[in-house]
Structure 1
Amino acid sequence: MVQQAGETADEAAAETVEEVAGEAAAEAAAEVSAERRELEEQRKLADEHYQRYLRTQADFDNFRRRSRQEKEDFAKYASGKLIEQLLPIVDNFERAIAVSKDNSDHEALLKGVDMIFRQFDAVLAAEGLQRIESVGQPFNPEFHQAIMQVESEEHEEGTVVEEVQKGYMLKDKVLRPSMVKVSG
């Protein structure tokens, strides 16, 4: 009887071990299954992020290409607005030349050319071009290019006494310095 009780206890223990092992295996299997689902979700998420990254990279490449093209087009056609404003002046010059061939009235031709010059000057001023005032000003190497030094009793030393060629600025940048004679 003792033997039977021992066998029953052993069997019960074995069954308990098997149950515990089965439960542990089931829990481990469930845990592995949950981990696999989590891993699969993370893979899907990583793939979504990678696809989003690829789209963003493609969008950026397209943006860069468009920007470069717009910059090239801007540089190519930047002078278009100015040229469009100068075309009426060219037309007026052509009219003045055509009229002067048929007419010997030099006074009218001079008046017409002066009007065209003022029109041309107004277009350039509207674009930001301005003359550099030189005569009577102190010599400034940023705005003036001295080509000669002359003796002058009416101007103090270092003063611009004569402008040989006009200088121009475009907004705040010197395009061409004035060529001047300076008192010495």
Structure 2
Amino acid sequence: MEENKQKDEAVQENEEAVEEAEASMEEDSTVENDEMNRGTEIEQELDEIKNRLLRTQADYDNFRRRTREEKEAAAKYRAQSIVEGLLPVIDNFERALSMEAAEEQNESLLQGMKMVYNQLIEALKNEGVEEVDAVGAEFDPHLHQAVMQVQEDDHEDNTVVEVLQKGYVLKDRVIRPAMVKVNSK
């Protein structure tokens, strides 16, 4: 009996050990599942952080590019406001130079004005200002402003016949379109 009792105790101890082992395995399994879930969550967070970093880096690159382009445009057209202010001065110079000198004294004054005018035109050319070609050219609404239409047989249709006010371009930007007469049949 004592032997049976010892066997029962041994069986009971084995059963308890098995139960403990099963409980321990369940805990280990739960811990492993929790660790795997945490690992998956960490990987997802890492992916999100990588995506945000890439987006932020792309935004920063776009910002740098836009800033550089704005600076280049500002440098390219820095003279625009000065040119716009000088165009009426050039118009007045051209009107004054178109007058005939009646006396020799007026001739020397006219000669001095021509020199100043030429220097002014040269300075504008050095900044990239060019006069819009108009007479005989085909009408271009980007470069010309039609203020009159005429019907002349000796000119092609849609051709500039006369320039009433010169137009100017700064590099590739129209500062003032040329006011012109256009032939239309």
Which secondary structure does the structure 2 equivalent of 1:148 belong to? strand
CA deviation after TM superposition for structure 1 residue 135, in Å: 0.8
C-alpha displacement of 1:169: 3.5
**Which runs of structure 2 are paired with 1:1-184 in the superposition (5 Å)?**
1=1, 4-32=2-30, 45=42, 49=46, 56=53, 63=60, 74=71, 78=74, 82-83=78-79, 105-106=108-109, 109-125=112-128, 129-183=129-183, 184=185
Note the residue ranges of structure 2 that are not aligned, 5 or more in a row: 87-105
Q: Give the TM-score taking structure 2 as reference length.
A: 0.53
Look up the equivalent residue of 1:8 and give its one-letter code.
Answer: Q
Structure 1 residues 15-24 or 143-152, which shifts more?
Answer: 143-152
TM superposition shift of 1:162: 0.6
TM-score (norm 1): 0.54
Q: Number of aligned pairs? A: 153
Give me the whole-angstrom Cα distance separating, in 1, the residues matched to 2:137 and 2:25: 97
- C-alpha change, 1:32 and 1:154, in structure 2 (3 Å) is closer
Change (3 A) 1:110 1:146: same
Unaligned stretches of 5+ residues in structure 1: 91-103
Aligned Cα root-mean-square deviation (Å) = 4.6
* Amino acid across the alignment from 1:113: V
* 1:154 CA drift (Å): 3.1
Q: Deviations over 1:5-35 (max 9, x none)?
A: 5433322221210121233334344455556
- 1:83-135 Cα shifts (integer Å, max 9, x gaps): 5xx7xxx9xxxxxxxxxxxxx9525522430332232232232xxx4332111
